[in-house]
Amino acid sequence: MADDKTGLLKGKPNDVEGIYYEQSPASKCLQVCFVALVVIMVAISIILSVVRGIELGAYGGGHLMLGISLIGFVVVEICMVVFIRKGDLPKEKTWFLYFVGGCVIMEAIFTDILLFQ
What SS3 class is residue 4? coil
pLDDT digits (tens, 9 = 90+) for 84-93: 778 787 777 8
Q: Is the pLDDT of residue 4 over 70?
A: no
Q: Where are the alpha helices (DSSP H) in the chain?
A: 6-10, 25-56, 61-86, 95-115
Mean pLDDT of the 63-81 span: 86
Give tens-digit pLDDT for 96-113.
Answer: 888 989 999 999 999 989
pTM, two decimals, is 0.71
Residue 66: what pLDDT?
85
The residue with greater pLDDT, 37 or 93, is 37
- Show Cβ contacts of residue 76 under 8 Å, excluding neighbours closer than 6 positions: 100
Where are the domains positioned within the chain? Answer: 23-115
What's the pLDDT score for residue 109? 92
> In this model, does residue 41 exceed pLDDT 50?
yes
Query: Is the predicted pLDDT of residue 16 greater than 50, yes or no?
Result: no
Helix axes 95-115, 25-56, angle to 10 degrees: 20
Residue 116: the pLDDT is: 81
Alpha-carbon gap, residue 114 to 66, rounded angstroms = 9
Among 64, 73, 43, which Cα is nearest to 114's? 64
| Percentage of the chain modeled with pLDDT above 90 | 16
